[in-house]
Amino acid sequence: MSLPKYEEISNEIRKRIFEGIYPLDKPIPDEVSLAKEFGCSRMTMKKALEVLVLEGLLYRKRGLGTFILKSAIEEDRVNVLSKETKGLTAVAKGKSVTSKVIEFSVQFPSKEIVNLLAIETTSPIYKIIRVRFVDGEPYVIEKTYMPVEIIKGLTEEILQGSVYDYIQNHLKLTIASAHKKIRADKPIDLDKQYLNCSNEDPILEVEQVVYLSSGQPFEYSFARHRYDKFVFTTYHINKG
């Protein structure tokens, strides 16, 4: 069975991205030009590009075009692409979720964060460290970086609740997908202090970059979970 036209196109553009055919410092050709090249409608081309946006390979800058996310092709990484981007408040629905803010500051990003969030070195970012509690019991420590220009108006009061709820319902931004790395680690002092871990208790860390529906990364974070409070479940759909 042949692939739908938009999937054929997205596969070819993905191949071109990894072969370096499109320069990293310039937008890829626009939808009209690509539609003409591939002999398809603009709607089909839009759908093909949307696949790559949701994969975190491309992101859109309003008025400037569609760009390749450098960190997606420069890093040798094994990751999980997830369209499940619920925060802890949504996951623990029906339970009391509270937060203790350990650090909340604004700073300039490191080179790594510049690449991962597709921002400039002069773009300020929030640095957030907070402990999340479920029904009064510590579950996870989150260290998060977000661009101030995208996630505007973040305050410590908002951090006491759900940041994702603020992003989606107040800022009216759509959270689309995430690239995750999941690893086991030994507890550090912060874990032992706030998660009630002993030296022998493993920590499950989720490192992730989260994307808006435009393909723009808006979050780079590390969530360090108590091993007895975290289960990662995935599934595979066989398309034949």
Q: Which of 16, 39, 69 is the last residue of a domain?
A: 69
The position carrying tokens 């400037």 is: 64
pLDDT for residue 235 is more than 70: no
DSSP SS3 for 140:
strand
Are 155 and 116 in a shared domain? Answer: yes
Number of DSSP helices (H) and strands (E) in the chain, helices first? 9, 9
Domain count for the chain, please give it: 2
The position carrying tokens 């595979």 is: 236
DSSP SS3 for 150:
coil
- Residue 60's pLDDT band (boundaries 50, 70, 90)? confident
Q: Is 201 exposed, middle or buried (0-12, 13-18, 19+ CB in 10 A)?
A: middle
DSSP SS3 for 3:
coil
- Residue 53's pLDDT band (boundaries 50, 70, 90)? confident
What pLDDT digit, counting tens, does each position of 104-132 carry? 999 999 999 998 898 999 999 999 999 99
pLDDT for residue 198 is more than 50: yes
- Predicted pLDDT of residue 42: 93
pLDDT for residue 29 is more than 90: yes
pLDDT for residue 59 is more than 80: yes
Are 97 and 174 in a shared domain? Answer: yes
Residue 34 maps to which CATH number? 1.10.10.10
Range of the domain at 217: 81-229
Are 98 and 198 in a shared domain? Answer: yes
Give the sheet arrangement for strand 80-82, strand by strand: 80-82, 175-185, 203-212, 217-226, 137-147, 125-134, 97-107
- Residue 236's pLDDT band (boundaries 50, 70, 90)? very low
The residue type found at 28 is I
